[in-house]
Structure 1
Amino acid sequence: MARRIASALAFSLAGLLAVFAQGLLDASPREAPDPRAFGVYAGALALFLWALRQEPAWLEGERPIAPSASPSIPGRPLWAVLSLGFSALAFLESGGNRFRLLGVIAWGLAVAAWLAAWWDAPLPRWPREGWRVRGWHLVLLLVLGLGISFRYWDLWNLPLDVNSDHAEKLLDVRDVLNGEYRIFFPRNTGREAFQFYLAAATIRLFGMPLHKFTLQVGTAFIGVLLLPALYLLGAALWGRHGGLWTMFLGAVASWAVIPSRVGLRYPFLPTFAAWSLAFLIRGLRSGRRADFLGMGLFLGIGLYGYSPFRGMIAALPAAFLLVWGIRRGWRTAEGWRQMRDFILGMLTALPVLAPMLRFIVESPEMFFYRLMTRVSTWEKPIEGNPLWILANNLRRALLMFHWTGDEVYVATIPLRPMLDPVMGALLVLGGVAAFGWMIRRRDPVPLAALAAGFVMLFPSAYNLSFPRENPSTVRAAGALPSVLTLAALVPAMWTAWWGRAGARRWLGWGIAGLLVLTLIRLNAVRVFETYAQSYCRHVLNASDAAEILRGFYAGGGPPTNAFYVAYPYWFDSRLIGMWLGDLDWPYTVWYEDLPHGVARHRRVPGPKLYLVHPEDEATRAVLQAAYPRGWWAWRPRSHCDGLGIWVFHVPPDS
């Protein structure tokens, strides 16, 4: 008994020391980490290893959750032939970068026929006795509700203003609403289609406007879909407690929450990476072909989401082959059967991708343009040895969870670690615990998650032409599911161990509850305070410009008499139009053309208004000379410190 108590105390103290060490790293400058952090981390790891050695039951935990294995069922050749035929029809009907009704019907039938050809598991059925809601189900619903709250709370205002990428996306959504059903959207260097059809459906179904908020509602929904996938993944790796903790970390982690609120395609990457990886792990556990088919299905769907997801084409085989090799799958008939089923799973993505494959054949340069501008000299020369740049990029990407950070303000806290100090500490301890788990249980399956996570750092690290863009919060987000499952292992071990401790389990669950509240608080501050303030200071306040214009219109000013004087790196006029309900709002004058524009404006009767950049002294001089009776008003930012707007009012009789 004394040994168990000592082990529990050492386990707890190791966690506290790791959090303290991570806090030192988090607070250290980005140029050089605080060396004290490494000493404290070493002490934490020594205590943690001692606790595991004293009480090996920490690593026993629960049995990972996996569906029961199915008997080997041969394929159904007729359905496979039908799938190939429908896939060919979908491919042929997708020419010219367009979805067409016949091609879409053939596309759906191709996917359904392929699944019917190889499915080897019972279909889900409603239980005869009905669903019984248990306490565990209520806990899962509570975590799901927490994740929904983090993604939708005050979504209109955070973020309020947006950037030119959103304007480009809204134009693509408008194209869909106008009947241009593209497979791949060429605007803004090329984009996959999923988000645009989701936003168009949101507008059609719920009557929402063509607005940045509509984009945010859709991406927040994709962010919510991440959570059940994380439960499946964590449960398949570590058991029921592992699934719950992985889902909880995904519900609150700022790295998962912030990108899903921005309104861009970012959350499509971690969400579909989690779903495809979860089914791979389930397949490695159960040997069921159906799980590998699910893996391939989500692989194909994810390739319509966000281009860095293409890394999963390499990550899934790397993860499978690592485990298959350790198991020496080539020595057994079961190993070769699992290899065949994995290959069938990967091939499942092909009918899902039939329209995309037609576009790739027709326009490979457009499909690969974004990738090639990062790994080659298409846009900019590579400055240095590519291998050295790649190695340095990988080093920085591996450090992004604890020390380095992304400098882009849009979807992260600039130059801060991706994880909060507590989650960062859990990741370090969880990595050690994962290797202990694999050695004690002789279970190589967690290596699949590790391998997939490492490979999915490459969409950020392979940026050879623009290495400052690495590490990227959003391009490396394919590693998020693996990171969260590792971080979830230590609290899962804690709650599973205390769950067997009889009356004393309430002590363990009390400490776990304190951890839950701490993580909620830390990440709420990161998302709703730190990120909100940082984002507001960096983003341009087009909403303020639109509010000034609406005030002018409400006071009787003609819409044709209010102008935005465009200046380098200032507002995208389409965003002003978005706030006014017209993406094509036409009253923009480039500052260099203003002298000619004023000559025309003076012939138009009525009051006038001009929005001018604070540093545009030339425009101020031109307007004051043209309208001597005009007067200036300074409009500061509405929601935070930052760049304001000079407003020039021209009375009607000028």
Structure 2
Amino acid sequence: MSRDEASTPIRCRPAASVTRVRASWSLLLAVVCLALAVFAQGRFDQRLLNASSYLACGAAAVLFVVAFGGIAQEREPSSAEASGQPTATPRVWGVLLAFLAVSLLGCLDFGGNEYRKVGLILWLGGLLLALGWLYLNERLSCPAAVQPRPQARRKWFTPTLVLLLAAVAVGAWLRLYQLDIIPADIGWDLPYNYTDVLSILRGQHNIFFTANMGREGLFFYWVAFLTRFGELSHFLLKLSSALIGIATIPVLYWTGRELFSPAVGLAAAWLLAVNHWHIVLSRPGFRVILLPLFVLLFLWSVARALRRGRWFDFGLAGVAIGLGMQTYTPFFFAPVALAIALVLYLLTERRACWRQWVGGLVLMALVALVTFAPLGRYALENRAAYLKRIGLQLELVQGERNTPRVTTPLLLENVRTSLLMFNVYGDSNARFNVPGFRHLGQISALLLVPGLAYALWRWRKGSNALLLAFFLVLIAPMTLAMLPHEMPNVFRAAGTIGPALLLCALTLTAVYEQLRILGSTYPAWDLRLRLQAASAQREGAVEWLIGRRGALALAGVAIVGLFLLAEFRDTRQFYFHDFKNVLPDSQNVSIAREFARQIEAYGDRSSVYVKGWPYWFDGRALRTYLQMAPEEQERVFIDLIDGQWPLSDVRQRALFILHPEDVAGLSRLRQEFPHVVSIVHYLPGGVPGYVTVFVER
């Protein structure tokens, strides 16, 4: 090195210097955004919905767009993927339509609302053959496009996979811990689920289950499958939904990776793992837990299909639609969201892709129709039974013709209430939420609005329009079904969980990406730390070389980790303390379950009788806890009358269960039997719950 070179001071390149300044200012604005968001959320939590709250929230969104709106996180199709689209020949269409026709032929065997073996083989076989044909046609037409990259084959156990497995493990713990205890009460719907699964196990394979105003049956067949590993019970119903909730975590990762990047998918998966709304839906045993899963499967498959243009992906999207429409009614809005997104794409640079999408979209619709065909046939033949639940809700919403319940101002108020459910107030039903508590956790609530603003700003780029359409349209099922001044509903809006958390993840990953960009302007090793120690006998020193590039990357990881840790702590407090204390019937103590425990401890079920009392307990719930067969005699009675059941049925001894206010019933038993022992059982808080009366002649 010459003397001139040695004496020349080292300066940053101009481009690096500009990038460093911009990134630093963006991160400073991020701090301001966070402060404004915390201020706004604090006021929202206090129900202070005034101008200052909305202005602070809006300012945080605008500043975030100013700071991070230029960061591209969308996944764009590569040239290799765009060139790897198979040609749709008449032969391809002919074979495909033949397989789908075989599948439809099988549906002719599904009369009388029942799956039959031959029809099931033809229906499923035709669908599988159609998908297999599409996949093989792609491999034969463009083998290079469908082969994985050699590097991808070599490196599969990556840090991303480790972090994803950790998210699944944390999510599994939150969904399985104390599952046998929380929630304790089975509620009014699950006994119907229990009975329907029991009918499947007894050979009655219904397509649509008409009890309780009608319900789709996909979840019940999932529970019936799990009975191969354990007996049908309330716990198995809860385990069935919990396993689906756990499976949704990696599906959200795949969706985020498909729409944006592995980092976005990973952040969203962690947010879902610790999301209290999804945990509440995962643990009770309701079929609604299928809704977030199939919304994400559909969003993943259709985003993949639109990006790659391959017919196999469109076929998978069709299967997701057809199965999704057999999960929970609000899923029907997911295809509407896709239609809106496709219209929005006409206003972006992706409008040029419409010509290559048309054939795939037609294929998707055909596969969806065939997949839905068994339930679709039932709906056409039994429209009144199929639409009974929807019709009842429409009657409640519309009211009488002369005095409609919902007017335009009230509808706008319902829209406002629906949009505020994430950050302000949520479901008021204590069975599914701490009454009125927002649907997102503290951290997710802070991240949602900036992420939404980011996606709106970049709606023309990548799949942002698709994500926004799914997020907004899937709120509509709840909004349209709301009665005047009704609070949000955690069930009807469950389809928005995945899209909402993807928006939250965009906020986190944008900040992380900006930190990475700032770090890239520094050398890998640019700082030297020296630790020196000395004593009377010896002295020594240790030196470390570190770099601001690595330090900033670690800072980004630490920030994301702290946010997720705070969300985990918030969720654990919410579910295992706050929510548990409001669960029915009193602080998660179920009257019907306590009855079942007393009856099981007594031993002789044939000599146990429960006296009914208005709004006290659900007899169907008691039957479910006791796992009673449908033909077993009901143990509930209304009055104690001489010579009639149950008094006439007692030969030696019996156990009666009474309401604590039923003084007349207890007095009548004391008159009838010479030996009577009564015990009052108390609920948490010292409230009398029920009385067990042991009698003997």
TM-score using structure 2 length:
0.84
Structure 2 vs 1, CA of residues 36 and 358 (structure 1 numbering), >3 Å: closer, same or farther? same
- Aligned counterpart in structure 1 of residue 503 of structure 2, from 486, 509, 515: 486
Structure 2 vs 1, CA of residues 183 and 603 (structure 1 numbering), >3 Å: closer, same or farther? closer
- Aligned counterpart in structure 2 of residue 471 of structure 1, from 488, 492, 505: 488
Worse-superposed segment, 301-310 or 415-424: 301-310
Q: For 1:343-390, what per-residue CA distance to the aligned partner results, in whole angstroms no more than 9, with x for missing partners? A: 321222112112112211211111111112112469964742454544
Contact 2:415–2:479 under 8 Å retained in 1 = yes
Structure 2 vs 1, CA of residues 171 and 247 (structure 1 numbering), >3 Å: closer, same or farther? same
Structure 2 vs 1, CA of residues 577 and 419 (structure 1 numbering), >3 Å: closer, same or farther? same
Deviation at 1:450, TM superposition (A): 1.1
- Aligned counterpart in structure 2 of residue 586 of structure 1, from 633, 639, 660: 633
- Aligned counterpart in structure 2 of residue 284 of structure 1, from 302, 306, 311: 306
The answer on 1:563 being equivalent to 2:593 is no
Task: Give runs of aligned pairs for residues 135-146 of structure 1, distance below 5 A.
Answer: 135-146=159-170
Deviation at 1:97, TM superposition (A): 0.4
- Aligned counterpart in structure 2 of residue 164 of structure 1, from 188, 199, 203: 188
The answer on 1:60 being equivalent to 2:72 is yes
Contact 2:653–2:696 under 8 Å retained in 1 = yes
Deviation at 1:171, TM superposition (A): 0.5
Worse-superposed segment, 531-540 or 481-490: 531-540
Q: For 1:438-483, what per-residue CA distance to the aligned partner results, in whole angstroms no more than 9, with x for missing partners? A: 4xxx51521111112222112212226x446652111111122211
Name 2:660's counterpart in structure 1. Answer: 614
Deviation at 1:392, TM superposition (A): 3.0
Deviation at 1:298, TM superposition (A): 0.8
Contact 1:611–1:645 under 8 Å retained in 2 = no
- Aligned counterpart in structure 1 of residue 471 of structure 2, from 453, 457, 482: 453
The answer on 1:79 being equivalent to 2:126 is no
Worse-superposed segment, 481-490 or 614-623: 614-623
Equivalent-residue separation in structure 2 for 1:148 and 1:605 (angstroms): 50
Name 1:550's counterpart in structure 2. Answer: 600
Q: For 1:108-133, what per-residue CA distance to the aligned partner results, in whole angstroms no more than 9, with x for missing partners? A: 12212332454464497788865631
The answer on 1:530 being equivalent to 2:578 is yes
Letter in 1 for 2:696: P
Equivalent-residue separation in structure 2 for 1:78 and 1:339 (angstroms): 17
Equivalent-residue separation in structure 2 for 1:306 and 1:49 (angstroms): 36
The higher radius of gyration belongs to: 2
Contact 2:451–2:507 under 8 Å retained in 1 = yes
Equivalent-residue separation in structure 1 for 2:391 and 2:667 (angstroms): 45
Equivalent-residue separation in structure 2 for 1:491 and 1:150 (angstroms): 22
Name 2:130's counterpart in structure 1. Answer: 114
Q: For 1:59-86, what per-residue CA distance to the aligned partner results, in whole angstroms no more than 9, with x for missing partners? A: 1347468892322421513322322431
Task: Give runs of aligned pairs for residues 305-344 of structure 1, distance below 5 A.
Answer: 305-327=327-349, 329=351, 332=352, 334-344=353-363
Contact 2:217–2:326 under 8 Å retained in 1 = yes
Identity of aligned residues (%): 27
The answer on 1:647 being equivalent to 2:691 is yes
Deviation at 1:317, TM superposition (A): 1.8
| Number of aligned positions between the proteins | 630
Structure 2 vs 1, CA of residues 642 and 73 (structure 1 numbering), >3 Å: closer, same or farther? farther
Name 1:232's counterpart in structure 2. Answer: 254
Equivalent-residue separation in structure 2 for 1:644 and 1:226 (angstroms): 41
- Aligned counterpart in structure 1 of residue 421 of structure 2, from 400, 408, 417: 400
Give secondary structure in 2 for the equivalent of 1:586.
coil
Q: For 1:611-650, what per-residue CA distance to the aligned partner results, in whole angstroms no more than 9, with x for missing partners? A: 112344443443344447534321123xx44864332424
Equivalent-residue separation in structure 1 for 2:172 and 2:130 (angstroms): 34
Equivalent-residue separation in structure 2 for 1:301 and 1:531 (angstroms): 32
Equivalent-residue separation in structure 2 for 1:597 and 1:89 (angstroms): 60
The answer on 1:365 being equivalent to 2:394 is no
Equivalent-residue separation in structure 2 for 1:194 and 1:565 (angstroms): 36
Give secondary structure in 2 for the equivalent of 1:610.
strand
Equivalent-residue separation in structure 2 for 1:283 and 1:92 (angstroms): 31
Worse-superposed segment, 121-130 or 247-256: 121-130
Equivalent-residue separation in structure 1 for 2:454 and 2:280 (angstroms): 28
Equivalent-residue separation in structure 2 for 1:642 and 1:223 (angstroms): 36
Aligned CA-pair RMSD:
2.8
Letter in 2 for 1:612: L
Equivalent-residue separation in structure 1 for 2:329 and 2:304 (angstroms): 25
Equivalent-residue separation in structure 2 for 1:94 and 1:342 (angstroms): 27
The answer on 1:249 being equivalent to 2:271 is yes
Structure 2 vs 1, CA of residues 77 and 293 (structure 1 numbering), >3 Å: closer, same or farther? closer
Letter in 1 for 2:626: L
Worse-superposed segment, 532-541 or 417-426: 532-541
- Aligned counterpart in structure 1 of residue 439 of structure 2, from 409, 418, 427: 418
Letter in 1 for 2:511: W
The answer on 1:22 being equivalent to 2:41 is yes
- Aligned counterpart in structure 1 of residue 318 of structure 2, from 282, 296, 311: 296
Structure 2 vs 1, CA of residues 88 and 433 (structure 1 numbering), >3 Å: closer, same or farther? closer
Equivalent-residue separation in structure 2 for 1:404 and 1:452 (angstroms): 22
Structure 2 vs 1, CA of residues 579 and 267 (structure 1 numbering), >3 Å: closer, same or farther? same
Give secondary structure in 2 for the equivalent of 1:609.
strand
Structure 2 vs 1, CA of residues 468 and 547 (structure 1 numbering), >3 Å: closer, same or farther? farther
Structure 2 vs 1, CA of residues 295 and 535 (structure 1 numbering), >3 Å: closer, same or farther? same
The answer on 1:345 being equivalent to 2:361 is no
Letter in 1 for 2:36: L
Structure 2 vs 1, CA of residues 303 and 315 (structure 1 numbering), >3 Å: closer, same or farther? same
Letter in 2 for 1:518: A
Equivalent-residue separation in structure 2 for 1:596 and 1:309 (angstroms): 55
Name 2:10's counterpart in structure 1. Answer: none
Contact 1:567–1:590 under 8 Å retained in 2 = no
Worse-superposed segment, 96-105 or 353-362: 353-362
Name 1:428's counterpart in structure 2. Answer: 449
- Aligned counterpart in structure 1 of residue 233 of structure 2, from 203, 211, 233: 211
Give secondary structure in 2 for the equivalent of 1:474.
coil
Contact 2:65–2:457 under 8 Å retained in 1 = no
- Aligned counterpart in structure 2 of residue 499 of structure 1, from 499, 516, 531: 516
Deviation at 1:202, TM superposition (A): 0.7
Contact 2:673–2:696 under 8 Å retained in 1 = no
Contact 1:110–1:351 under 8 Å retained in 2 = no
Contact 1:407–1:414 under 8 Å retained in 2 = yes
Q: For 1:537-589, what per-residue CA distance to the aligned partner results, in whole angstroms no more than 9, with x for missing partners? A: 37642111111222322xxxx43322111222222223223333325553533
Worse-superposed segment, 254-263 or 143-152: 143-152
